Structure formats: structure tokens, C-alpha cells
Amino acid sequence: MFEHPIAKTKTSQVLITDSTSKTAQKAIDNLYGQALTAATHQEVFDVHRFVDKYDIDAARNFFSKGTDHRGQLLR
């Protein structure tokens, strides 16, 4: 994946400084099927921005279907 000798290839870690750990955890939890029912509108927006920025297709597909302010799919 990484071909150049940069910090990411040497440590196998990526430092995320533009999102909170809470946002990252909510995104991961959502990938494992946990709905964003207790999330505020801002938290749902932050999770959407996070999964879009870090190119997490499974979560992006969930959001592209449309969700309400609780992260529940719109029907």
C-alpha cells in the first residue's frame, strides 16, 4: 500500500489529529452494526465526515442510503 519510506510504513500507525477519539469509535462501532441512536446531529455529521475522509466504503455506503439524526436508515 505504501511504497515510500515514510513514518506510516515504518510504524504501521496513522496519527489522526482532525477528529476526536469519540468520533473514530462511533465510526468503528457503526461498522460493526451499532446504530448511532444516541448520537447528536453533529456527531452523526462528524462520523460521516470521518468515514468519507478516510475512505471507509462500508460506512460511506451506509450513509449514502440516507440516515436520520439518530443514524437510523430512512425508509
Radius of gyration (C-alpha) of the chain in whole angstroms: 14
pLDDT in tens, 53-62: 888 887 777 7
Cell of 33: 452494526
As a whole number, mean pLDDT of residues 2-20 equals 71
Band (pLDDT 50/70/90 cuts) for residue 46 is very high
Distance of alpha carbon 10 from alpha carbon 43, whole angstroms? 32
Cell of 22: 469519540
pLDDT in tens, 32-45: 888 888 888 899 88
Cα–Cα nearest to 21, from 41, 36, 43: 43
